[in-house]
Amino acid sequence: MTEPSLTLAEFRLLAAAGGAAPSLHNSQPWRFRPTADARGLEVYVDPSRAVPVTDPDGRARYISVGAALFNLRLAAGHLGREASVRLMPDPAAPELAAVLDLSRPADAPAADLYAAIGQRHSSRRPFANRDVPEAVIGELMAAADAEGVTLSPLEEAGVRRVLALTADAEERIAADVARHAETRSWLRLDEPAADGIPAAALGPLDHEARVPMRSFTGYPQAMPSERFEALPQVCTLTTHGDLPVDWLRAGQALERVWLVATTRGVRANVLHQAVEWPDTRALLRDPSEGPGHVQLVVRVGYGQPGTPSPRRPVAEILDLTDRQVDQR
């Protein structure tokens, strides 16, 4: 059975869900366009939202769009549609990340994960000294696995190794004038930072300068220092390949893991510094785990939920034809 065309309101709901995804520096590098028959959605990587110094290959851009894609799949289920996804369908058009065919009814929408989209925020404050139980970690691993990606929770030695690599990478980022200027260009300094600290008051050493995140470098920070959990719980997300299609999978896995965590009251944030340099990125991989490419480092734990960060209006990320606009 074929479902009718989607309405404008339904396309807007889809775009709002996609647009709520996490992205590097909150760059939101996505665009959505209804298919010609209005029974599907094209998902584009938006090169005008690139972060070229920090992300020269566009890896983080595709990961961010992958996260948006997972939200779109959930939103499709919420609308009673099955999302049949083709990743990178046109080799001649690498900016076309995916096409969603939404013409069939959904079997069983994952309602709790859809509801978690608006509750998920980056939590960069200290977490409690209370471990996320193994059963919940198992659920997070299964969530990544369902997207063809491996989530590996690290043992103490691994955590210390990864945090040391993050410190090394952050030190280099702090010394890189071009990167620093690029990062600041993505900040909205007129707005209060998440967690109530004015963005403009934050010092130059914070990778994501809006946030009171621990400086792993040991340099003084321009914010009150806070005690973080004694041993952070850190996981890596690893893919087999290292092509745009793998980055899209990693992004979908990131969002699935993060939303499952949200439904369990577990907070998370991304530590991206070490994957931004080829040498520290290569060292992130635990050789005992076999081949693979680390795409992201994620910290999980219990603590404050984090606050919402601004999003572009739906009208800016949803491309409509003149005829569709006339229907407003």
Ligand X SMILES: Cc1cc2nc3c(=O)[nH]c(=O)nc-3n(C[C@H](O)[C@H](O)[C@H](O)COP(=O)(O)O)c2cc1C
Residues lying near ligand X in the complex (CB under 6 A) are found at 22-24, 26, 60, 63-64, 67, 121-122, 124, 207-208, 211, 213, 269-273, 306, 309
- Report the amino acid identity of residue 245: V
Q: Which is nearer to ligand X, 38 or 87 (CB)?
A: 87
Closest distance of CB 69 from ligand X, Å? 12
Taking CB atoms, the residue at the shortest distance from ligand X is: 22
Of 78 and 124, CB closest to ligand X: 124
Structure tokens at 140: 């997070």
Cβ atoms of residues 96 and 90 within 8 Å: yes
Task: Tell me how far, at minimum, the Cβ of 267 lies from ligand X, in Å.
Answer: 10
Provide Rg for the chain, Cα atoms: 19
3-state helix, strand and coil shares in percent for the chain, rounded to the nearest 5 = 40, 15, 40
Q: How far is the CB of 178 from ligand X (least distance, A)?
A: 17
**H-type alpha helices, the chain:** 8-19, 59-78, 111-116, 134-145, 156-175, 177-185, 244-263, 278-284, 314-317, 322-326
Nearer to ligand X, 150 or 273 (CB): 273
Minimum distance of ligand X from residue 12's CB (angstroms): 19
Query: Of 15 and 270, which has the nearer Cβ to ligand X?
Result: 270
In terms of CB distance, is 102 or 274 closer to ligand X?
A: 274
- Of the candidates 235, 216, 2, 234, the one whose C-alpha atom is nearest the C-alpha of residue 127 is 234
> Nearest approach, Cβ of 307 to ligand X (angstroms)?
7
- The least distance separating ligand X from the CB of residue 231, rounded to whole angstroms, comes to 19
Give 67 or 199: the residue with its C-beta nearer to ligand X.
Answer: 67
